[in-house]
Structure 1
Amino acid sequence: MGAVIMSDSNFPSPKFNFDDLTLTYIVYILFSIGFLSSGVFWPMSLASVIIIYQKKNDLDGTIYSAHFDWILNTFWFSLLLLTISIVLTFIYIGYIGILLTFSWVIYRLIRGMLCLRENKSPYIDMHI
C-alpha cells in the first residue's frame, strides 16, 4: 500500500472572518472591560486599539470607521486626562479629574454602543 502524502493544501486554512458589525462590538467590549476594570485588564483596551489600527483602513467609508475613530479618540484623550489627573492627585484635585474622566468614558462607551445598535455614527446628535 502506498503512502499518502499530506500537504497543507489538503486542509482549508481556518478563517475567522467577523463581519464589520461584530468586529466593532468586539472592540467596544474589549475596550470597556479594559477601561472599566480600573486598569486590571488594561491589555484588553490595548488589544482593542491594536485591532482598530489593523482594521481601520478596511472600514474606510463605512459607519464602522466613525466608531473606530470614536473609540480611538476616547482611548487617547482618556489616557491624557488620566495621566494629568494622576499627577494632580498630589494636590487632591486629581481625584475629581479621575472621576470626571471615568464618567466621560462611560458616557462615550454607552453612546457609541447605542449608536452602533441603531447603525448610526456616534458623532451625529442623538435624540433621546
Structure 2
Amino acid sequence: MQLDMMTMSTVDVTVTAVLGLVLLFTWLKQRSAQLVGWWGLIMLMQAAGVVVCASGALTNTPAIITAGLGVMLFSDSLKWIAARDFVDHPTPAAWALAGPLMFVVPAYSGLLAGLLSQFIFFSLLTRWPTWAQRSSLPGPRARG
C-alpha cells in the first residue's frame, strides 16, 4: 500500500470521525459534561472539512477546497468557544462565524494565502482561556 495524500486523508477522516462519534456517545450518556459534546461535534466537523477538501483536491476545484478549509476553520472557532465555556467565560455562538466568514469571503476574491494564518490564530485563542485560568483548574500542576 502506498501512503499518498488520499490514503492519509482517509485514515485521518476515519479516526477523527470515530473519535467524534465516541465523544458524542459519551456525552449522550453524561449530559453534564458539555465540553465532551462540543469536542465530539468539533471532531466530526473537522472530519467533514477534510472530506470536502479531499474531494476538492480530487476534482481540482479550488472553490470546494476553500469551502472545506472554511469548515475546518469553523471547527477551530468552535474549539475556542468550547475552551472559553470550559473556564466559565461564555461567548456568543455567533462569534464562531466571524473567523470562517473572514476567511471564505476574501478567499473567493483571491486573497487565500494571507488568510491561512487564521488557523494558527484560532488555535492560540483556544489555548488562552485555559492558560489564563490554569491555577484554578483541577488536575496536576507543575511545581515551581
**TM-score class normalised by the smaller sequence:** 0.3 to 0.5
The structure carrying a bigger helix percent of its residues is 2
